[in-house]
């Protein structure tokens, strides 16, 4: 089987701007942290969502707790065409005011103390995901199309309280990933209709990873926390097809096995939390993501030991810095706010409209409302502002396409916490 070069562009879709963290990373594991731009996540023990960000913090809990969260992601990612080497295309035809649809990110957690030393926890959440959509007849169709990747991380964790100051935690993660990638031929010199499918790839896979955490209680008002999450290897095995004529190496709609391999990167976070007085808390985090594990994108077919293509990406490790605070307005209402700076790992020489990634700022606000002794509700929102990027990209036929991309987003989250 012959894979066309357009599969390279199709596979690049697993790094989309719709996630609004570095590359295709998701930060939205809870709504409580959303209100402070996820500052202090590895040190603050607000609720059962500590399972996702630092399992050592489960040692703080004296009673069982259930947390259910959902975050709506409303993107504002636009493209403006600046160049088209195909003379039949006006660069203005590349304009698209919304390449990323709205999305909903759910999560759920449960923490159960065993005794004054041990606790266990369970969580279902996502660390990675995306969705982008272009019209079927988009002129630069080999670089665009329809893309969707969904990952679900199912985690079981345990914590141990060594002494009054120091606790540790360990988690095992089962990750399910599902992907759908469609690319159309777009404007071309071969006379094929623009909506002709050049790539249709659907597949899924599962993988295992682990995470560990530690927390150190300096005194009753201050705590440091650290969490590390391992890499997870994912191979999207499924069916590949296209509608290209067999005369030019196409499959004419016939499906064959195909796979694309990626590595979900390792993540490490250091956080601090300090209760400054009876009403005011200060929180901060530094988060590192090991994107240097993603240097190449490769596709394989059965019967071949070497990849049918290999494309350098040269991703770099990225950092995220956040600081936030909360204020106890009254017995029932806790106010939150925070800001963050999120670096992009993308190499400036390898930008794509499937990955119009950029450095971005977070501006966040939130509130926690105590409903009863057992129940409380978190509401949070963030405004994300990314910088403008200008780049040129080539498709499988060597056509040059120039773009200006802008990426912003609005996040709204809610979370219900119940203590048993």
Q: Is residue 1 part of a domain?
A: no
The pLDDT value recorded for residue 304 is 61
The pLDDT value recorded for residue 129 is 82
pLDDT digits (tens, 9 = 90+) for 46-63: 999 999 999 999 999 999
Q: What percent of the chain has pLDDT over 90?
A: 56
pLDDT digits (tens, 9 = 90+) for 408-419: 899 999 999 999
The pLDDT value recorded for residue 19 is 45
Total domains, the chain: 1
pTM for this structure?
0.87
Q: Is residue 96 part of a domain?
A: yes
Q: What is the spatial distance between Cα 284 and Cα 297, in angstroms, rounded to a whole number?
A: 34
CATH of the domain at 45: 2.40.160.60
The whole-number average pLDDT for the span 166-193 is: 90
Q: Is residue 347 part of a domain?
A: yes
408 strand-pairing partners: 76, 385
The number of angstroms, rounded, from the C-alpha of 134 to the middle of its chain's C-alpha atoms is 20
Which pair of tokens denotes residue 192? 């094929």
Q: Is residue 235 part of a domain?
A: yes
The pLDDT value recorded for residue 97 is 85
Q: What is the spatial distance between Cα 326 and Cα 243, in angstroms, rounded to a whole number?
A: 56
The pLDDT value recorded for residue 310 is 53
The conformational region for residue 185 under phi > 0 = left, psi -120 to 50 = alpha, else beta, is alpha
Q: Is residue 52 part of a domain?
A: yes
Q: Is residue 219 part of a domain?
A: yes
> Strand ranges (DSSP E) for 39-128?
65-84, 103-113, 118-125
Q: What is the spatial distance between Cα 179 and Cα 12, in angstroms, rounded to a whole number?
A: 12
Minimum mean pLDDT among 21-25, 333-337, 363-367: which range?
21-25
Q: Is residue 393 part of a domain?
A: yes
The pLDDT value recorded for residue 11 is 34
**In degrees rounded to 5, what are phi and psi of residue 291?**
-70, -10
pLDDT digits (tens, 9 = 90+) for 269-283: 999 999 999 999 999
| Domain region containing 44 | 6-419
- Count of Cβ atoms closer than 10 Å to residue 82 Cβ: 15
The pLDDT value recorded for residue 322 is 98
What's the whole-number average pLDDT of the chain?
A: 87
Minimum mean pLDDT among 155-169, 215-229, 243-257: which range?
243-257
């Amino acid at each position: 089987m012959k894979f066309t070069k357009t599969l390279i562009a199709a596979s690049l879709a697993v790094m989309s701007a719709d996630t609004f963290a570095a590359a295709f990373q998701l930060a939205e594991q809870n709504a409580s942290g959303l209100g402070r731009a996820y500052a202090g996540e590895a040190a603050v023990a607000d609720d059962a969502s500590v399972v996702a960000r630092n399992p050592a913090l489960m040692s703080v809990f004296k009673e069982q707790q259930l947390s259910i969260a959902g975050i709506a992601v409303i993107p504002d990612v636009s493209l403006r065409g600046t160049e088209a080497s195909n003379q039949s295309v006006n660069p203005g035809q590349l304009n698209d005011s919304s390449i990323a649809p709205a999305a909903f990110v759910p999560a759920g957690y449960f923490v159960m103390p065993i005794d004054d030393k041990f606790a266990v926890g369970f969580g279902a959440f996502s660390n990675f995901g995306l969705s982008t959509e272009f019209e079927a007849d988009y002129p630069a169709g080999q670089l665009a199309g329809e893309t969707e990747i969904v990952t679900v991380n199912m985690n079981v964790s345990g914590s141990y309280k060594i002494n009054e100051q120091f606790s540790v935690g360990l988690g095992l993660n089962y990750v399910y990933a599902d992907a759908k990638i469609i690319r159309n031929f777009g404007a071309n010199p071969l006379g094929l209709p623009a909506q002709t499918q050049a790539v249709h790839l659907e597949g899924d896979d599962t993988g295992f990873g682990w995470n560990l955490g530690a927390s150190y209680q300096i005194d009753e008002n201050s705590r440091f926390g650290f969490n590390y999450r391992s890499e997870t290897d994912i191979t999207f095995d499924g069916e590949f097809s296209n509608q290209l004529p067999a005369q030019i190496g196409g499959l004419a709609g016939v499906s064959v096995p195909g796979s694309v391999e990626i590595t979900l990167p390792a993540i490490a976070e250091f956080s601090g939390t300090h209760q400054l007085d009876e009403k005011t808390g200060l929180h901060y985090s530094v988060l590192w993501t090991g994107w240097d594990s993603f240097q190449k994108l490769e596709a394989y077919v059965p019967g071949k030991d070497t990849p049918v293509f290999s494309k350098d990406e040269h991703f770099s490790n990225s950092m995220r810095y956040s600081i936030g605070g909360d204020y106890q307005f009254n017995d029932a209402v806790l106010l939150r706010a925070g800001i963050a700076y999120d670096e992009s790992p993308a190499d400036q020489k390898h930008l794509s409209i499937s990955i119009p990634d950029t450095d971005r700022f977070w501006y966040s606000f939130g509130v926690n409302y105590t409903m009863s002794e057992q129940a409380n509700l978190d509401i949070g929102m963030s405004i994300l502002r990314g910088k403008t990027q200008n780049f040129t990209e080539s498709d499988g036929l060597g056509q040059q396409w120039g773009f200006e991309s802008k990426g912003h987003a609005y996040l709204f989250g809610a979370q219900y916490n119940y203590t048993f």
